[in-house]
């Protein structure tokens, strides 16, 4: 893969590998001189170390899990759209048996279904226009015969949103046992 086609992070990763940085079987990181590196955390919680190469104009972090994946999969790791997968879900486990590569979809499917569902519900709740209490009043008003347009005006939502609530496409009603 052409070095110039890579992102800065990709060029730093290749430099680190060429300079002899390696992830050991137990997950420790050794520099090209064989010294164990101290690692820092990125804002997303991934472990990283820093490299600098003035000749190439490189300076910055290298993510440890990406180096481990490069060691295991080589150039395949650098293909656009390919991500590192932590098969057991532990970002700190960079042992070869836990590291794989795949698409964003593959990566998402590594997350247990219950956790994916909880994350989805949490994200959706941040976008909700109506609180649970307003939603309850909305449904009560509909039962009393209020029109879609009137409901939309009263609750400050689009007519389409009001229709979707009524038809169950959004704000799905809980099972009858929970109502």
Same domain, 28 and 100: yes
Same domain, 65 and 149: no
Same domain, 52 and 109: yes
Q: What is the pTM of this model?
A: 0.68
Classify residue 178: in a domain, yes or no.
no
Same domain, 96 and 167: no
Angle among Cα 143, 149, 152 to the nearest 5 degrees reads 80
Q: Which helix (H) or strand (E) holds 66?
A: helix 64-73
Classify residue 58: in a domain, yes or no.
yes
- Are 107 and 85 in contact by the 8 Å Cβ rule? The answer is yes
User: What's the total number of domains in the chain?
Assistant: 2
Angle among Cα 97, 101, 106 to the nearest 5 degrees reads 110
- Whether 41 shows a pLDDT value over 50: the answer reads yes
Tell me, what's the pLDDT at 178? 39
Same domain, 82 and 136: no
Task: Give burial (CB, 10 Å; 0-12/13-18/19+) of 84.
Answer: buried
Q: Which residues contact 23 (CB under 8 A, 6 or more apart)?
A: 29, 64, 67, 68, 71, 94
Classify residue 139: in a domain, yes or no.
yes
- Whether 127 shows a pLDDT value over 80: the answer reads no
Tell me, what's the pLDDT at 63? 95
Same domain, 34 and 70: yes
Q: Is 34 helix (H, G, I), strand (E, B) or coil?
A: coil
Classify residue 120: in a domain, yes or no.
no
Tell me, what's the pLDDT at 3? 59
Same domain, 70 and 107: yes
Average pLDDT for 147-156: 94
Same domain, 23 and 63: yes
DSSP assignments along 117-134, one per residue: HHHHHHHHHHH-SS-HHH
CATH number of the domain within which 47 lies? 3.90.75.20
| Residue ranges making up the domain that contains 24 | 3-113
Domain boundary (65, 82, 113) is at 113
């Amino acid at each position: 893969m052409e070095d110039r086609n890579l992102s800065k992070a990709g060029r730093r990763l290749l430099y680190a590998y060429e300079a002899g940085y390696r992830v050991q079987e137990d997950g420790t990181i050794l520099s090209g001189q064989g010294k164990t590196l101290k690692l820092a955390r990125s804002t997303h919680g991934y472990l990283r170390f820093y490299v600098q190469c003035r000749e190439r104009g490189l300076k910055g972090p290298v993510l440890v899990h990406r180096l481990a994946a490069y060691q295991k999969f080589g150039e395949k790791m650098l293909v656009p759209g390919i991500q590192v997968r932590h098969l057991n879900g532990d970002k700190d486990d960079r042992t070869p048996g836990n590291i794989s590569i795949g698409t964003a979809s593959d990566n998402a499917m590594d997350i247990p279904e219950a956790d994916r569902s909880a994350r989805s519900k949490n994200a959706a709740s941040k976008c909700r226009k109506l609180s649970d209490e307003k939603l309850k009043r909305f449904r009560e008003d509909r039962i009393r015969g209020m029109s879609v347009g009137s409901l939309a005006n009263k609750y400050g939502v689009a007519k389409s949103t009001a229709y979707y609530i009524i038809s169950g496409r959004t704000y799905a009603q809980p099972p009858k046992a929970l109502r």
